[in-house]
Structure 1
Amino acid sequence: MTSFTVTRHVRATATDTWNTLVDWPRHGDWVPLTEVRVVTDRPDGVGATFVARTGLGPLGFDDPMEVVAWEPPSGDDRGDRPGRCEIVKHGRVVHGSAWFTVTPLPGRRCRVVWVEDVEVSPRRVTRYAGPLLSLSGRAIFGATLRGMARSLESAG
């Protein structure tokens, strides 16, 4: 397994940030060469399933995911309970888990912490290229959270 963590402070409420992060198809707006589609009736809550298709044309892979923990933030004020969502990845190429928290901060701001704990098939790729995968994962998800934050901050 390789793991990485990305943290981003966002000038938007925890509720607005949570709602943006769990709008799974919107992730395609910020993740390069990726389109996300929800495959269950409900897009939210435990049991929601979605697939991220990453690639260009026929060259790509599907990353199917399922929500296994879902707890939205209890409010937007400092001291309110943070939101937490946990996802399990069931793909042939990428498998493992990811989770994020959205913590309310003073001044209508919040902090997002995103953690990935994944393996890439074939598994020996992860074993030998783990540090490179972790570095590239931090870079990609850092850019993703920056794009999400810019989108939210410009709308607010």
Structure 2
Amino acid sequence: MALFTVARDVRAPASVAWNVLVDWPRHGDWVPLTTVRTTTPRPDGVGARFVARTGVGPLAFDDPMTVVVWEPPAGDEPGAAPGRCEVAKSGRVVHGRALFTVTPLPGRHCRVAWTEDVTVSPRRLTRHIDPVVGFAGRLAFATTLRAFTRAAESARRPG
């Protein structure tokens, strides 16, 4: 099992970063080689489901996810309760959990943390490379979070 967290400070209010982060189809804008589609009528809240398709051609795989925790940030000011979204991954290749938190900071900024706790299948082949998966995951998601940060900061509301 690979467990890692990446975090970045974002020059945008927590509410803005949250809205960009949980716009599931938009993940394809900053996750390389990935497209995302929602599979439930409502894309938000507990029970919402979506599928990320990652890769190219025959090397692509589906990563179906279901939202199991949905707590938007309570406000944009420091001390407001952070936003928290957790998804359960139930794919044939990747399974486990992802957790996103958005914590308000001073100056209408926020900190976004993305945690992945995943297993890659087939387990009999991948169980010995968990440290490599964790290292590669940290690098890949750090790049993804940098791209997300640019998107969130460009979506920033005036004021």
Q: TM-score under structure 2 normalisation?
A: 0.95
Are residues 1:89 and 2:89 paired? yes
User: Which residue pairs with 2:64 in the alignment?
Assistant: 64
- RMSD (Å), alpha carbons: 1.0
Displaced runs of 4 or more, over 6 A? none
Aligned to 1:129: 129
Q: Distance in 2 between matches of 1:149 and 1:83?
A: 16
Calculate the TM-score normalised by the size of structure 1. Answer: 0.97
Tell me if the contact between 1:2 and 1:126 (Cα under 8 Å) persists in the aligned partners.
no
> Would the aligned equivalents of 2:67 and 2:88 in 1 still touch at CA under 8 Å?
yes
Identity between Structure 1 and Structure 2 (%): 67
2:144 alignment partner in structure 1:
144
Matched position secondary structure for 2:5: strand
Match of 1:58, SS?
helix
- 2:23 corresponds to 1:23: yes
Contact kept in structure 1, 2:73 and 2:102, CA below 8 Å: yes
| Aligned twin of 2:120 | 120
Contact 2:16 2:155 in 1 (8 A): no
Show structure 1 runs of 5+ residues with no match: none
The number of equivalent residue pairs is 156
SS at match of 2:66: strand
Residue identity matched to 1:22 = V
Give the secondary-structure state (helix, strand or coil) at the position aligned to 2:112.
strand
Q: Counterpart amino acid of 2:88?
A: V
Instruction: Give per-residue Cα distances to partners, 1:32-83, cap 9 Å, x unaligned.
Output: 1100000000000000000000111233100000000000000000010000
